[in-house]
Amino acid sequence: MKSLVLLTTAAVLAASVPAAAQDAPVRLNQLGILVDGPKRAVLANNSKRPLPWSLIDEQGRVVASGRTSVFGPDRWSGEHVHQVDFSGYKGSAKSLTLKVGDDSSRPFSVAPRIYDRLPYDALAYFYHNRAGTPIDASLVGERWARPAGHATERATCVSGADSKGNLWPGCPYTLELGGGWYDAGDHGKYVVNGGIALWTLLNLYERLSASNSRLFADGNATVPERGNGVSDLLDEARWQTEFMLKMQVPEGTRLRLPVGAKQTTPGLTFTDIDASGMVHHKVADEKWTPLPQRPHEVRERRVLFPPTTAATLNLAATTAQCARIWRTIDPAFSDRCLRAAERAWAAAERNPEVYALADFTGSGAYGDDQLGDEFYWAAAELFASTGKPAYRAAVERSPAFRAPVQGEPSWPGTAPLGTITLATVPNALPPLEVERLRGQIRAAADRFLAERKQVGYALPFAPASGWTWGSTSNILNRSMIMALAYDFTRDSRYRDGVIDGMDFILGRNPLDRSFVSGYGVRPMQNPHHRFWAHSLDKALPPPPPGAISGGPNSTNMSDDVASKLKGTCAPQKCWADDIHAFSLNEVAINWNAPLVWVSAWLAEHQQDR
């Protein structure tokens, strides 16, 4: 019953958070500070000279002191910033205050373990957002229980005229598509975004297995399958895998699809192709549903979107992972996954240029016109699982195999996933090649750490083009890369970088906000979500603990809330805790998955110096 205790504790914490806790000028991780790690705080102050700081315990005694480091003007926060490093304090305490000049922090703790609960709450996000099954009060509490959304779901392909007047012919079949995870604030289920989220959870399982970790051992997490002798992490991942398998096109199917076109324009040419083994891009509501909306009350017709090469490769990659992970756990399921993966790979090779162009309302596009990274990723997973020469050849002819890891993983940028797998999962590559790939990961981590010097809040994230939609996931996916670099080297710089990233997400930021619901004094409370919508309907719940907001976004401010901030906010301050702010405050599976991965890694490395 460990996870229920953890969840209940977090729920009480979430319920007790004031609606608008007062802003504190001295910004720190609101969950606390690790004894065994860097201890940093940030203050916005216009003084050009260092300021004195004192760390004061509960009895009013000064236990450490020093002077700030003046960072100066910070383009990302729009502030003149002072940094405080009190890493010299080696004690632990439940209630410390950091006084900097005339300003003081809230009381905070320095403790040896602060991340024990977060991995479980972050994983519970996925159970909360399962489609096709009731969400059980005995697991999540009455507040978040609900009937099954889309308890039965059958759909055929969208057809007719799109927004550009192209006439889509549809498909000659209907598929049963129950299960899976709702993607984000809406009720769409997307293979492309589901793919990277699923990979992240499965990769975490492989990493934990390699270290004989007990995290997510059967019975520890909030899933109805607990007690079946299988890791709770795999139970959750299988729910999505089973759905994605249903999205594969039946054998012997020919469809008319646009081939080669990368943009939706009037006059698309449709070509008759063998679509057997390809994968449908998504299933979603025909029209956007309003806020709020309980999943079981949705009456909008569900439509299936045409298969795409990107979705096909996402299935190939993740079911190849499935095949090796379940090989000894459930051999029949493993074989089913491998058959699906190899069918998908063959279909993608046969149809390498079918892009997501069906431009109909009601769901996100998730369009991607550069698929070399998906081919590399899928080939890497298939090679790691089978060792077959054909997949090795596909890996080695990909430019991504030799190229540096350019950035953090993302749903349209999946090449790092292939490199991570080849560098960490036992495979038939020569040891020197595996070490070279690990070097690519370390080099990327070094570049991320170097960016920390450019940011007043000491964050290893300084994007040249501004802060993007889902910026918190960029930070977390970078943290995964740095965590792997630490695993390879035991160099504490990388661990410090991971901690800095999580410090920012949990409160050491210019907004003095935690972007994770239920965590910290000022957590996100009003995500863009149709069911977690208490700000619109008091009968509906707030988010449960462990959901992460997409975070600041200065480059795509497309909702009504964000558009009013456009041009008036520094990149790190372009955010609002508002249910209507979908470009700033949505939640999504591909953002919560790296929160699970990174918080689990931190839970294992809290005392590691």
Residues annotated catalytic, as ranges: 186, 528, 577, 586
Amino acid in the structure at residue 142:
E
Burial (Cβ within 10 Å: 0-12, 13-18, ≥19) of residue 578:
middle
Residues 608 and 395: their CA atoms lie apart, in Å, by 35
**Pairing between β-strand 108-111 and β-strand 33-34 as defined by DSSP bridges:** parallel
Amino acid in the structure at residue 214:
R
Would you say 549 and 122 are in contact if contact means Cβ atoms under 8 Å apart?
Answer: no
Q: How far is CA 191 from CA 373, 376, 452, 538, 590, in A?
A: 16, 18, 34, 33, 11
Give rounded-to-5 percent helix, strand, coil for the chain. 40, 15, 45
Q: Which long-range contacts (CB under 8 A, 24 or more apart) does 458-462 make?
A: 458/40, 458/42, 458/83, 458/500, 458/508, 459/76, 459/500, 459/501, 459/504, 460/497, 460/500, 460/501, 461/501, 461/504, 462/76
What stretch of H or E contains 428?
none
User: 98 has which bridge partners?
Assistant: 55
Residues 576 and 552: their CA atoms lie apart, in Å, by 8
Distance of CA 309 to the CA centre of its chain: 22
Rg of the chain (C-alpha set): 24
The SS3 assignment for 73 reads: strand
Residues 179 and 133: their CA atoms lie apart, in Å, by 7
**Helices then strands, each counted (H, E), the chain:** 17, 21
Alpha helix segments (H runs only) across 425-531: 431-451, 471-489, 492-505
Of 456, 508, 457, nearest in space to 24 by CA: 508
Q: How many CA atoms lie within 13 A of 46 on its CB side?
A: 0
Residues 513 and 529: their CA atoms lie apart, in Å, by 19
Burial (Cβ within 10 Å: 0-12, 13-18, ≥19) of residue 462:
middle
